[in-house]
Structure 1
Amino acid sequence: MNLNDVRKLLDAKICVGEEYLGRQVETCCGSDLMSDVLAFTKCKTLLCTGLANMQVIRTADMTDLCGVILVRGKLPGEDMLKEAAQNKLPIMSTEYTLFEACGILYSNGLRGCSRKAEEQ
């Protein structure tokens, strides 16, 4: 699955980084706790979150996330957009809740970051 597939599944609006929608997505993490994202994500992970602040960008940079989906129709501020563009981090926004967005992605074959998900 790539980010463009994700965009279609979640009917997401591209906020920044349209040129990176061909990136592959191997796993997904749904969290508003950036400490969990730091602890559990892997390379090529997509983050679904309700947080629209600079901490998301910093966390994404440290963990090499492939992209961010903001849920519940949240939109990034100008500072977040600028920093995401500099870090080549695509950000999209969907009207789905965190639970719904993760469920849609899971039901379409995207797995989580847990060891249990690796066994499936």
Structure 2
Amino acid sequence: MTIREMQEVLDAKFLYGQELADLDVQFVFSADMMSDVLAYCGQCSVLITGLCNPQVVRTAEMLDICCIIFVRGKMPDEHMLALAKGKSIAVLATEHFMFTTCGILYENGLRGGA
């Protein structure tokens, strides 16, 4: 599934990284605790979270995650978007809750990265 396809099925908004929309991803991981992401996130390309602080982008960078999806309508500030831009990490936001977001993506063929 591409990032663009995820954006469409989640009715999400691109906040940064539309030029990365055609990247293909196979695995996702969802968590609000970045320590869990660091400990358990295996081969994932997408991080789904409701945590909205710069550590999310820094964690994604460490794990070579190419896309962050913020749930529950969370919106990162300009500093976070600048960090993501500097690391070429796509950023999307959806109004769905995390459970629903994961379910929609799973239903469309994506699997967990752990």
Deviations 1:47-103 (A, max 9, x none): 110011100010000000020000001111010011110110100000000000001
The one-letter code sitting in structure 1 at the alignment partner of 2:81 is L
Corresponding position of 2:8: 8
Give 3-state SS (helix, strand or coil) of 1:73's partner: coil
What count of residue pairs does the alignment treat as equivalent?
114
Corresponding position of 2:89: 89
Query: Which runs of 5 or more structure 1 residues have no equivalent in the other structure?
Result: 115-120
Corresponding position of 1:23: 23
Corresponding position of 1:113: 113
Give 3-state SS (helix, strand or coil) of 1:61's partner: helix
Deviations 1:32-60 (A, max 9, x none): 01111112223452111001110001000
Give identity over the alignment, percent: 45
Give the Cα–Cα distance (whole angstroms) in 2 for the partners of residues 17 and 78 of structure 1.
Answer: 14
RMSD: 1.0
The one-letter code sitting in structure 2 at the alignment partner of 1:82 is A
Corresponding position of 2:72: 72
TM-score, normalised on structure 2? 0.95
TM-score, normalised on structure 1? 0.91
Corresponding position of 2:63: 63
Give 3-state SS (helix, strand or coil) of 2:39's partner: helix
- Deviating above 3 A after TM superposition, structure 1's stretches of 4 or more consecutive aligned residues are none
Give the Cα–Cα distance (whole angstroms) in 2 for the partners of residues 40 and 113 of structure 1.
Answer: 8
Gap change, CA 1:8 and 1:46, over 3 Å in 2: same
